[in-house]
Amino acid sequence: MDGFYILYYLQGSLRRGDVPYLTDIDNIILLGYSHSDFAMVMGAMGLIAHFSVIVTCVLFAVGWRVGCYLAMVQIPFRVVFLIPSISTLLLWPRWITDYVPWFMLVVGSEIVKVWSLWWLSRVKGRKRGGVSASRP
Instruction: Give the Cα separation of 10 and 25 in Å (integer).
Output: 15
pLDDT digits (tens, 9 = 90+) for 10-39: 888 899 999 988 998 998 899 888 888 888
Alpha-carbon torsion (102, 103, 106, 112), positive or negative: negative
For 78-128, the pLDDT digits (tens) are: 777 767 666 655 555 555 555 556 566 666 667 777 777 777 777 665 554
Burial class of 31 by CB neighbour count within 10 A (0 to 12, 13 to 18, 19+):
middle
In this prediction, residue 86 carries a pLDDT of 60
Angle, alpha carbons 26-53-7 (nearest 5°): 75
pTM of the entire structure?
Answer: 0.63
CB atoms closer than 10 angstroms to residue 122? 9
Q: Measured on CA atoms in the order 113, 125, 51, 17, is the torsion positive or negative? A: negative
**pLDDT (tens digit per residue) in 65-79:** 888 888 888 878 777
DSSP 8-state class, residue 91: G
